[in-house]
Chain A
Amino acid sequence: MTARRGVAITGVGVVNAGVVGPSAALGAWLARPRPAPRTPGPRPAVRVPEATLSALVDGGEARRLSRVCQLTIAAARLAVGESGFDPNRDLSRGLGLVIGTELGDFTSTIAFADGYLARGPAGLSPLLFPNTVMNTMAATTAIAVVARELTLTLNVPTVAGELAIARAAAAVASGRADAVLAGGVDELNPLVGDMLEVLGDHDVRGEGAAFVMLEAESSARERGAPVLGRIHGTAWGSLPARPWGLGRRASSRAVAEALERARLGPPGWIYASASGDAERDAWEARVLADALGPASRPTSSLSPLLGHCAGVGALRVAAAAWTARSGLLPDDAGDEPTRVSGPGLVHGLARGGGHVALVVG
């Protein structure tokens, strides 16, 4: 196996209620972020308007594909398009794909079950059945972007988007892959919202997808690809906690290991997964303090602006690349950004103990 390689971000694609487009669109939004509109009601949520999605997929795809698959493909195509990567031309080893999701295609699963409950065996839709398997987004996106190498779907609460990108970056850094499209996606579903509320997950839910194109930096430069940022080091682990519960321990190796792999000093700023779940957010703050020391660092989350979902977790990695380039960390209240410098940390901690750290510069 070759020594660890530099991992470049060469494309970004974001589709959510607040911002849609490649890195330039994301950067323009981050420079002065505005909260995305929330649906009214007892549990506000941030939903991608149907018109937004219709503009991004063609009519055939809109008829054939479930909504969460459409969100995924739309964002994935934006990232691949910005990178200029052509899987049929650029590399003999082809393109990998890693997707993180917290909920998968819940909507199709419920619709499939409803078909049976309404009409018995005759009500079962063979077209819906494949969507009940959580890799449906990966299956359809792999076809859309011609990803023929490693394709993974990772499922974990809260940090699925960050974990997908960390996993993909590790594959590129180790030499197991030359190019991997990685990101996260989730779709809103009212029944799921009820479930998460009962489980103590009080986040304002959002939906959407975000992807980054990751390539070996040497390969990216050889083909003249844009280098929008770098992932210097990643690590993931778990802190002891009951499923969906909170842990007491704050000490974890993930941040230290990510920094060791990055071979850089402590980060100057942080994108955290804090999302309004007060107890989990407090746990995350303790874990960060334990890893980095008590001195506070400028920290942003973006969840208050966009709602929380796997897509926003992945968006934070793309945002971190923008922050490293621009020297600006957006304010979660939409006020003036904070000036920062150097690489930063993207951090995720989930109920149940899932823990991810990425050093991005």
Chain B
Amino acid sequence: MQRMRFMFLAVTVALTACASVVNRATHQFTENLTTGILNEDDIDTVHDGVPAYLMLIDGIIEGDPENASTLLAGAKLYGAYAGGFVGDPVRAQRMADRAYNYARRALCVREKKLYDALQGPFDQFQTALNQADKRDIETLYGFAAAWAGRTQVNTGDWNAIADLPKLQSLLMEIAAIDPGYDNGGAYLYLGVINSIRPASLGGKPEEGKANFDKALELSQGKNQMVRVLYAQFYARLVFDKELHDKLLNEVLAADPVAPRLTLINTLAKVKAKALLESGKDYF
């Protein structure tokens, strides 16, 4: 009996060790895959090729459903694809939802209290956020990014709009813990959120501007999507055509190639061109 228990223990240990080797390999693979995609400069290749990897990641998650790192990688890939490559709003919503659900599962594994407070009132969420593990920036940021992506494609959903203050709090917490994480990505999202409501309705567009400036500074001006969103949200909100056109022309003139930013910058150029064109009617 005693021996059997030991044997069981030994097998468990062996299995765990084996799983962690697989986990490490999987984690490395998804990381490399994401980097490879982000370095791509041909939009069509990514558009046509990534769905196969989305399915691959679905499969990996299927086999290891509580692996937070894989869940976050899946969330990132699905979120990026939904936001940048899917024109059909219904499909974009479906994929952004999947990204959000993967990220939420990762949150459930690693930050259970925060996960439980997601559905509750704002102040309960705030309390749970204060208790979250400050070292766990990967989960907090990965979840915030997927959440922001889902909100962006669900603008008609009042539950999503009602959750915006929670998302904003989470992003502010992330910015406080590690401002430079993902090239200041938290500031980019905050810039957008603070540039939705005009000052006359109680919004704080000047905070939005400060957030965008910070995101530019932290990404050393290399992430062109910052300029695009700066123009699209802040400059249009305050009706500053000069700033709008200046930012977008800078995007068009910039070299898109930068580590892990090439794909985003290539997309930013396409978007900048469209915004400059529609700006003629807007202003």
Is B one of A's binding partners?
Answer: no
